[in-house]
Structure 1
């Protein structure tokens, strides 16, 4: 425990706290009930931020005794800002939580077990299957309620591919097919794509080979053959050397301005990420886009359904019941989900998904169809990342940049990553 307290304290000292977007509302009329002030924090883009604010306002209208202060930021900045609050035990009442941080925050005693709130009906899970709830569990404790389901995917503009004489990918396409496409683009100034987050897509490529990034007990890396690392990152390095992936500096910051991303200019064939990002991407792109699976082979092993994110309740919250009631509203209210439009993933409630179908726009229908396809062509998700996942991710991103800038060979990088990652994870045995 002491080393994680120390870790949070160090992060607290190093965090840059600027650039936040926040709001405090006051002046709501009392209705006889005791006035409750809640704080909520999430990461997201402009689309998510605006939709979430509308849902908050709807909840306040229906619950005049509740005043909700909110704070949002981009993904990387979000965790920097959250760390000092964790160190000081003053987290917001409701926290948007990512799978990669759930173990860390949960095992540090920072999150409330929501099982009792499910048992007494404050969070209605009657139309949420056990396997979808399980994504937010550590052992028997429910530390997060899944807000939606998504899957890794590729997206593209069919007109851009057509302009360069390329056929759209189908469900059988492979990493080799992707690289072959790139050979036709060499010298044109057009990229294959931009953003392949190393920890997400390396983990996907490992799953394709039947192994995982971490062992089940979280004490070391889950693969023994460093050739798997060399194969994946060697391919990424080749694509970078051929100027088929956009410069690495775009990966070190959050991309919030379409003007800075060649995908939005029609200068990159593919965008990659999780399917819940499709709605906001189409909105920003301004033209229809299409969805394809991630490259194979064996993408039925690599793909999985993932909780897009969770809402958790802070252990330090003084209003846990009201926080639970807001989460229930967020997940189970039809009008709220009309506003959210599946941007956090396909609704986890089967009832809400069914009720939402008559109102689904074409882009969201594509996401629903794709997630349904993945459900039939995928494997179970790996367990939540162990304590130390965030540190391992930071190391991998650092090494990735060195590979892409030709400062380190994939072979040397594989050795370096194994040494440093296992050094971090080995502490889980203590």
Structure 2
């Protein structure tokens, strides 16, 4: 059952800042001789930790009850916190060598915890305790760090272009039919021109590192390799940021208008007709837009090079097991249930994102927007390539720096040359720490 600790209801976005784990007393990644030798009658207790709010806590409560119908011998004690507090507590536990047996996990922290020997090697459990049939190879590879599986994705998302059908109708402009980045800018400009200053076609996409990443992937490169090598130089980043000059100056929403509606953004304030972001943001956008909005458009991002696999599936979250757990088989059994079971799919729906497991997805009752996301991810199958390596330690810091520099470029308070210099200086610190 759940502890009495009340959740923080606001879930902050991940910053991905490096966590100091030096001197951790974490367990090793040694594995048992036979991961399948699980005694179903052994009475064990597991600690489960996740971030979320009261709604997600109740869903986990239901899932644990369903799990106990099948495994009455495994007691699950679950606790939850808001996102920042969740990771602060994990840092303290990691230093003391007492991480929870099973953890909901964020992609940004996978490498750091894995490379510090804090997460259990799950490979011996794959195909026996943890069913891999419902999980595609692309999804299984998401949780691999240094050749070792340390996490199983519960759900996935992909980079997408959201559009606002109400604003498009108001502007008298058809849905974007796809094309390259220049054609997308032209479409945005058409909306901005006819709106009379009431709204804009979109925002400067060069402020998001993911848009840079999919361009690099189209060119056969990457942001960062498994070894932390950058796949671009100053000249390529300069070219990218300069490509947004016309959008910043004449087409996109001014940065000052964005600042005025924070904590919302331009898209969920009905100030922009399009937004490039992860496809699981749709529900939040609809909630922000409020009355009069029942649907959104979800289409593929602009193309850099035709026929390339520039997109990929990213985990909304994963489940991991502490390397120090006393009950690895029971913990793997719980992870399998939370990831793969139809019961879990039916209980959580898309609360954790679109289920990554086919069996969990079959159990989920998808609302219209979630079905849209499912159809969208099917529609981009030809553009989906292998996911990049698990983010380097400090990736979140670089992502945020990229966003901040994009904001200053949009304000006009920084030149592209200075922005490139600042980013490479920050990158040098992160990659060589």
Tell me which interval the TM-score lies in, with the shorter structure as reference length: 0.7 to 0.9
Partners of 1:6 and 1:153 in 2: how far apart? Answer: 30
Cα distance, 1:311 vs. partner?
A: 0.9
Cα distance, 1:382 vs. partner?
A: 1.9
**Distance change (3 Å), C-alpha of 1:227 and 1:140:** closer
Structure-2 residue corresponding to 1:18: none
Cα distance, 1:133 vs. partner?
A: 1.0
The 8 Å contact of residues 157 and 269 in structure 1, kept in 2 or not, is answered as yes
Partners of 2:275 and 2:303 in 1: how far apart? Answer: 16
Alpha-carbon RMSD across the aligned residues, in angstroms, is 3.7
SS at match of 1:264: coil
Partners of 1:242 and 1:179 in 2: how far apart? Answer: 7
The 8 Å contact of residues 106 and 143 in structure 1, kept in 2 or not, is answered as yes
Structure-1 residue corresponding to 2:158: 151
Residue ranges of structure 2 left out of the alignment (5+ in a row): 1-16, 24-40
Cα distance, 1:179 vs. partner?
A: 4.3
Q: Say yes or no: does 1:203 pair with 2:209.
A: no
Q: Say yes or no: does 1:321 pair with 2:329.
A: yes
- Quick one: which of 235, 238, 242 aligns to 2:244? 235
Q: Say yes or no: does 1:347 pair with 2:355.
A: yes
**Distance change (3 Å), C-alpha of 1:261 and 1:408:** closer
- Quick one: which of 107, 110, 126 aligns to 1:102? 110
Deviations, residues 222-266 of structure 1 (Å, cap 9, x unaligned) = 11253434533662795378660555986998x5xxxx4453343
Structure-1 residue corresponding to 2:314: 306
Q: Say yes or no: does 1:289 pair with 2:296.
A: yes
Q: Say yes or no: does 1:170 pair with 2:177.
A: yes
**Distance change (3 Å), C-alpha of 1:386 and 1:251:** farther
Cα distance, 1:168 vs. partner?
A: 0.9
Partners of 2:346 and 2:140 in 1: how far apart? Answer: 22
Partners of 2:129 and 2:197 in 1: how far apart? Answer: 57
Deviations, residues 126-165 of structure 1 (Å, cap 9, x unaligned) = 3323332111112331100121232111222312211122
Partners of 2:60 and 2:164 in 1: how far apart? Answer: 28
Cα distance, 1:334 vs. partner?
A: 0.9
Partners of 1:238 and 1:394 in 2: how far apart? Answer: 21
Paired residues, number: 393
TM-score, with normalisation over the residues of structure 2? 0.76
Deviations, residues 350-391 of structure 1 (Å, cap 9, x unaligned) = 3444x348x443322211211111222233322222233234
The 8 Å contact of residues 304 and 374 in structure 1, kept in 2 or not, is answered as no
Partners of 1:98 and 1:252 in 2: how far apart? Answer: 28
Structure-1 residue corresponding to 2:279: 275
The equivalences for 1:19-418 within 5 A come to 34=43, 36-42=45-51, 51-60=59-68, 62-64=70-72, 65-74=74-83, 78-118=86-126, 121-172=128-179, 174=181, 175-177=184-186, 179-181=188-190, 183-184=192-193, 188-193=197-202, 198-218=208-228, 220-232=229-241, 235=244, 238-239=247-248, 244=253, 247=256, 260-279=264-283, 281-282=285-286, 285=290, 287-298=294-305, 300-353=308-361, 355-356=362-363, 359-418=365-424
Residue ranges of structure 1 left out of the alignment (5+ in a row): 11-31
**Distance change (3 Å), C-alpha of 1:138 and 1:6:** closer
Of the structure 1 ranges 305-314 and 236-245, higher mean CA displacement relative to structure 2 is found in 236-245
Partners of 2:152 and 2:178 in 1: how far apart? Answer: 31
Partners of 1:295 and 1:5 in 2: how far apart? Answer: 32
SS at match of 2:428: helix
The 8 Å contact of residues 182 and 192 in structure 1, kept in 2 or not, is answered as yes
Q: Say yes or no: does 1:419 pair with 2:425.
A: yes
Structure-2 residue corresponding to 1:20: none
Cα distance, 1:397 vs. partner?
A: 3.9
The 8 Å contact of residues 255 and 411 in structure 2, kept in 1 or not, is answered as no
TM-score, with normalisation over the residues of structure 1? 0.77
SS at match of 1:302: coil
Cα distance, 1:403 vs. partner?
A: 3.1
More helix by share: 1
The 8 Å contact of residues 403 and 409 in structure 1, kept in 2 or not, is answered as yes
**Distance change (3 Å), C-alpha of 1:270 and 1:91:** farther
